[in-house]
Chain A
Amino acid sequence: MTISRLKRKATKGLLLLVLALTYVFLFLPLVHIGIAAFARNFTYPYPPLWTLETVANMFANNLYRTSLLNSFILGLGSAVIATVFSTIATFGLLRYAGRHVAKFVLLFMAPLFVAEVLLGISSSILGGFFLQIPGNLISAMLANSIHCFSFALLIMATQLYRYDWRLDEAAMVFGASPAQTFFEVTLPLIWPGLLSAFIISLILSFNNLEISFYLLGATPTLPSMAWGALRHGIKPELYALATVVNIVVFVILAVIFVLMKTGSVKFGYRPERESSIV
């Protein structure tokens, strides 16, 4: 018994070690950006000579605020479009596709398997060459939403494909209208799927470069500014801006952590569903 317990402990230790190393690897560049943002010697800030100048410069410059706002609008817009269409598509696929389901899955998932650069380039060919529409925030939003749509659909379909549609039918039998059924039965049950699809879409398009680059025209967003700045070398202000965004994200995660620790939110965690055998 002790040997198997030892083995189990070793496996657990090893897996958690790899997980921890993965986090370190992922966050190391972000920490580098964070340190560089507050350092006078920002290209090689080891050890950093601290300064707050870049942060002050960043807040003083209007362009950074505009591009942050544009990025946010772009992300929010395509997340809304993607979530609405992918919700419709999920319902269609799971309930009404019947024997054509494979064809529709293929069509709806296809954008995932086309490289982002290609999506950007081909949309800009259609818009720029054939329709003669100059790139703007809306076209970038629409093109981004396509990629997000498939991701959102993937997330929702994996969470909803075991959804019990008899619940909807039960509501209808007891006289609920279709709208009532949706808002009082379906939506409360599927909202975690909807929310995660929305968040992932927002994250994907907020800082997308490869699709947006070809469609934005002259509209500045965070990634297009970073791309433009490369010609003269990255400015530390961009690091500072990214760090501000990261700090906000970490604060949100910390709040979620505290709320989970105290047990005020569960986010779908159900202890009764945990494995009973260790």
Chain B
Amino acid sequence: MTHKTKAVLLLGIPTAYLVLLFILPIISLIVLSFWKTESYHLVYEWNIQNYVTVLTEGAYLTFLIRSIVVSVIVSVLATAIGWIAAYAIWTYGGRFRLLLALAFAVPFFTGEVLRVIALQGLLGPVGLINGTLMKWGFAPVRALMYSNVASGIGLFYLYLPIAVTVIYLSLLNLDRRLIDAAKIFGAGGFRSFIEITFPLNLVGTLIAFALCFIPCMSATLSPRFLGGPNGTLYGMAMAQQFGESGTWALGAAMGVILFLFSLLAVVLIASCLDLRRTGFTGFGRN
């Protein structure tokens, strides 16, 4: 086999796979968003009414803005805590590093539904925290009961492991000798972190942020069970169009808007990145 055929095969097979199972579905979503649904039936009539509805009706805009605020706060916190946890494992983990990192994957074995319900059991009005407080004669913490704070805690809980894993993967690739070199030349621990460890892992940090932000924007479970009456988030409203309401076309339009929004967020994040400063020097050693 020549170099060329190998290239076509090794890149063509995954490309075909993605086109079939990823690009085509997204295209069908876009097509559907330009049709309309009337009493649980699709009407094949091209129009942009769905987009007008989403972008002008107050409720959807509120959900979108609320989702953005919650997602930004949660993702910043998850990335920050994720950094501390990943850095602690990487620095002090010794030979148990892999095990400590694997422990972050354990919650994934319990379904998302069960974990959110368990959080409800911990945070809710009769949950462990408030239950204990009331038993001791204190007032329960209202912020934890069916509020945006509670749904934020739920989102943070669900996506923190992803942040830790991504930042840890990034740290694994960092050459420790660079830090040693900085220290030999007199840099303190803090300075070597700010000037070496952090910038060289910036790509990983941004990926971690994006991988928290995007699922937060589309979250359905946490706002539904922890968010309470004023906790509806965009993703939850979108999922409802495909479930109870049966307005698939409107839901598809909401999906397209969410997709465009994620794309915008990724482009924004990527544009403030200087690849050379982050230590990227190309792929492989040929």
Residues of A within 8 A of B (CB): 7-8, 11-12, 15-16, 18-19, 22-23, 25-30, 32-33, 36, 43-44, 46, 85-86, 88-89, 91-98, 101, 104, 107-108, 110-119, 121-123, 125-126, 129-130, 142-143, 145-146, 149, 154-155, 158-159, 161-166, 178, 199-200, 203-204, 206-207, 209-210, 214, 222-223, 226-227, 230, 234, 238-239, 242, 245-246, 249-250, 253, 256-257, 260, 266-269, 271, 273-277
Contacts and interface: CB of A to CB of B under 8 A. Distances in A.
A62 to B, nearest CB: 19
A129 B28 contact: yes
Interface residues of B, number: 102
B161 A275 contact: no
Nearest to A36: B121
B114 A121 contact: no
B98 A15 contact: no
A88 B10 contact: yes
B11 A203 contact: no
Interface string B96-119: 111110111111111111110111
A111 B88 CA distance: 30
A209 B111 contact: yes
Contact of B103 (A23, A91, A118, A227): A23
A184 B240 CA distance: 52
B118 A29 contact: yes
Contacts of A199: 105
Contact of A113 (B14, B24, B107, B262): B262
A89 B14 contact: yes
16 contacts: A32-B128, A33-B115, A33-B118, A44-B127, A85-B17, A92-B10, A97-B7, A118-B26, A119-B22, A143-B25, A145-B21, A154-B207, A214-B242, A226-B114, A242-B109, A275-B177
A118 B169 contact: no
A143 B248 CA distance: 19
Interface string B195-218: 000000000000100110011011
B13 A115 contact: no
A275 to B, nearest CB: 5
B108 A260 contact: no
Given A129-B32, A130-B28, A91 B126 contact: no
Interface string B208-252: 001100110110110000000000000100110010000010011
Contacts of A25: 157
In the A-B complex, the 6 residue pairs with the smallest Cβ-Cβ separation, listed nearest first, are A92-B10, A115-B218, A96-B7, A29-B118, A122-B25, A122-B29
B29 A253 contact: no
Contacts of B6: 96
B160 interface: yes
Contact of A277 (B92, B131, B184): B184
B42 A115 contact: no
B235 A15 contact: no
Chain B contact surface mostly? helix
Given A115-B214, A203-B108, A269-B95, A33 B114 contact: yes
B121 A165 contact: no
Given A113-B266, A118-B259, A253-B106, A146 B111 contact: no
B250 to A, nearest CB: 12
A97 B131 CA distance: 59
Contacts of B87: 15
B149 interface: no
A111 B172 CA distance: 24
B247 to A, nearest CB: 13
A110 B23 CA distance: 10
Nearest to A139: B21
A30 to B, nearest CB: 6
Interface stretch (B48-56, B57-65, B139-147, B278-286): B278-286
A113 B211 CA distance: 7
Contacts of B184: 277
A43 B121 CA distance: 7
A26 B42 CA distance: 43
B274 interface: no
B18 interface: yes
B104 A125 contact: no
Considering residues B6, B238, B263, B283, which has the most beta carbons from chain A within 10 angstroms of its beta carbon? B283
Nearest to A123: B25
Contacts of A260: 95-96, 99
A161 to B, nearest CB: 5
A116 B247 CA distance: 20
Contacts of B81: 18, 22
B155 interface: no
A277 B78 CA distance: 30
A178 B2 CA distance: 12
Contact of A15 (B22, B91, B94): B91
Nearest to B269: A113
